Structure 1
Amino acid sequence: MPTREAGEVFGPRMTLFADVLSIGLATAVACLPLVTVPAALSTACAVLRGAGRDQPVTAGRYVALLRRRSRAGDLAAGGIALAGLLLLAADLALARAGLPGAPLFAVAAAVIGGCAVLVALRACGRPESLTDWRAAVRGAGRDAVADVGGSALVLLAVATAALCAWMLLPLAFLAPGPLALALTAVDVRRSPVVLPQ
């Protein structure tokens, strides 16, 4: 059982909790331009994944890693995600306008949109998202179907983050940290465990 180091007030679990909140705040700030959301969330997952390899989980490491992510693929992923969300919002607005078949169309659009969000979030949690979004999305699509329990956990994490942000608006700036932790945990639990030789 881990013990407190000299000068440590709360112990390692509370330290990880504080680190997750600081990563969440840094991620929320990085997400403000909207097209940077996938890269920011993917970077948060990468920083939190490093905790298992004894790498520091700090906002400074997050910013340093995010700085290296300003490539065309990351901005394209953000643009596609933003366009998809705008299209879904427009489709749901048209369904509310009273068009024939609107209720069935609204359900279909919500299911398709939910599946797309699920795959996108699982892609952000994969390590491949740091270098290759296509490979991350392909792997996330396979995982979304093969790992139904993990997909349910991701949807539960999104619902929890949305509920916290709805209940108390300042929590919206901290929600990306626990969401990234949940995405990372869902991905890591599928990874094979390498035992020491």
Structure 2
Amino acid sequence: MTPSTARPRRRSAGRRAGGPALFGECLLAGLLTVLLALPLVTLAAACATGCHLVRTTAEREGSTRVADLLAVFRRAWPGSAVPSAAALALAGVLALDVAIVRAGLPGGTAVLAGCAVAAGAAGVVGLRAAAAWRPGIAWRRVLGHAALAAAGFRRGSLLLAAALATAAAGTWALPPLLVPLTGCLQLAAVAVQPRPPL
């Protein structure tokens, strides 16, 4: 066996062995994301930090210490307030639409379907952006890449949409599931990310 053939096998074996550790890091990523996103305008930076944690664990690269993750969050923060505010504004508009439909608006089924599609599309782009972000890359570039990836890699986008729907249903049924399901969503976003990411 030559060194060139031995190295890939060792890397793949290491990834398989990291399965339980990856699950634990998904829980940590979910908790960290929820806590960092509490100010609301930090939503995008928090999601990017969680995806960074999941990715470094999956690839067995970098540090997963909380202090280092907070440093990643500080690097993700500049420029992230605008997409965070846009996501919150969209969520508010969709929630208002749903409230109006529940009050008896004619054609409510079509409106609800449109709201679901809009929420799913925004969620997929947001998750792809969080997974694509790297230190030093501007959020505008990340969002443009995420929109193109969402349209160009449709199978992965459909999988992310299904994961979002499952997470939404699980959180609605049992709110404490928000933390682990957030980490699972970030793992899904990292898993379907095209290579190279940007």
| Alignment TM-score, normalising by the size of structure 2 | 0.79
Aligned equivalents of 1:130 and 1:17: distance in 2?
Answer: 28
- Runs of 4+ in structure 1 over 4 Å off: none
RMSD: 2.5
**How many corresponding residue pairs?**
183
Q: 2:119 aligns with which of 110, 113, 134?
A: 113
Whether the 8 Å contact between 1:123 and 1:129 is mirrored in structure 2 is no
Equivalent in the alignment of 2:110: 104
Consecutive unaligned residues in structure 1, runs of 5 or more: 4-10
1:80 aligns with 2:86: yes
Shift of 1:104: 2.5
Residue type matched to 1:113 in 2?
A: A
Q: 1:65 aligns with which of 69, 72, 92?
A: 72
Shift of 1:83: 0.7
Q: 1:174 aligns with which of 173, 180, 183?
A: 180
1:25 aligns with 2:42: no
1:191 aligns with 2:198: no
Aligned equivalents of 2:39 and 2:80: distance in 1?
Answer: 13
**Distance change (3 Å), C-alpha of 1:135 and 1:45:** same
Residue type matched to 1:18 in 2?
A: G
Whether the 8 Å contact between 1:22 and 1:58 is mirrored in structure 2 is no
Deviations 1:94-118 (A, max 9, x none): 2232234333333223322322222
| Alignment TM-score, normalising by the size of structure 1 | 0.79
**Distance change (3 Å), C-alpha of 1:109 and 1:158:** closer
Q: 2:54 aligns with which of 30, 34, 48?
A: 48
Consecutive unaligned residues in structure 2, runs of 5 or more: 1-9
Whether the 8 Å contact between 1:42 and 1:129 is mirrored in structure 2 is no
**Distance change (3 Å), C-alpha of 1:58 and 1:24:** farther
Identity %: 36
